Amino acid sequence: MKVNRKVFDAHTHIGELPAYKFYDLKEPVKPTVIEYPSSKEYTKHMDEYGIGRAMVISNYGVPDSGQPFTLNPLVIDSVHKADRLVGAIWVSGMAKDKERTEEALKHVKEKGIVALKATCLLGGTYKPADWDDTARGIWNSIVDAAAANDLVLHIHTSPGGGSDVGNAFEFVKEYGKRIKIHIVHMGGGVSGHIRLVPKFIDLVKEGYQVYTDTTWAIGFGSRWLLHEIERTGIGTDNVLFASDTPWGDFPSEYWKVEGAKISEELKNKIFWENAQKLYSR
């Protein structure tokens, strides 16, 4: 399959993960099946599908908050070698990762680095009311770096836990008029989608610099969001196409938007124009 339009994949992962005994499995597994250990393998994937540009972020998924930091050098190397790639530096709001985050933030001015990436899937929370002084200081340093270097902050969202989309909304209210924040996965599930769609429209309307993508979205979720954007005219510049490769599946994520009953103008914005505007330097 090759796409027949310009595509900027705004959220993907590069690098190899160790096999791991997830949950109660008896043997270590690599559930993604495929991985991209270097820019060469990654751009080969892009050529296979006809992807024009892509955002690469450290591959992660094993329950070790330090692991994604080890792939920051690969992200930097990849965006230096391939002009079609832009990258996000991995950071963390947790106290145990404070030194790793300080080291990571030294690289925000590297060529091709246009974003920071954080998750609370591995611990911590986006909810400012629950932070102690240490956590607030770390998050402030992350936001300061994003603001000073015009970087987008990607935050993983889930329908529960520290990455709960409700916590992400509180984070956006705290910082979203100062920096651009990409809420990944539309809340990550049925309840997350239902909570996100009306709130997302409201946040954009209220002037917050908030973005999302439709990765992991259950069928009704992306359909509802795109319908509301066309109905209201709000958010046309704030939704990006992404596949979450290799955790997501490019063809199915592509057709989630390509097959939607929305205008070609909006599809072009989602697939290319919005990301190109957000990430061009």
Q: Is residue 27 part of a domain?
A: yes
Report the C-alpha gap between 9 and 241 in whole angstroms. Answer: 6
Q: Does residue 99 form part of some domain?
A: yes
What are the two backbone dihedrals, phi and then psi, of residue 221, each rounded to the nearest 5 degrees? Answer: -65, -55
Structural domain includes residue 1: no
Digits of tens for pLDDT over the chain (281 positions)? 899 999 999 999 999 999 999 999 999 999 999 999 999 999 999 999 999 999 999 999 999 999 999 999 999 999 999 999 999 999 999 999 999 999 999 999 999 999 999 999 999 999 999 999 999 999 999 999 999 999 999 999 999 888 999 999 999 999 999 999 999 999 999 999 999 999 999 999 999 999 999 999 999 999 999 999 999 999 999 999 999 999 999 999 999 999 999 999 999 999 999 999 999 87
What's the number of domains the chain is made of?
1
pTM (two decimals): 0.97
Asked whether residue 105 is domain-assigned, the answer is yes
Residue 94 lies in a domain: yes
Print the domain residue range for 215: 8-279
**Is the residue at 185 inside a domain?**
yes
- Domain holding 133: CATH number? 3.20.20.140
> Is 218 part of a structural domain of the chain?
yes
In a domain, 236, yes or no: yes
Q: Is the peptide bond before 246 cis (omega within 30 degrees of 0)?
A: yes
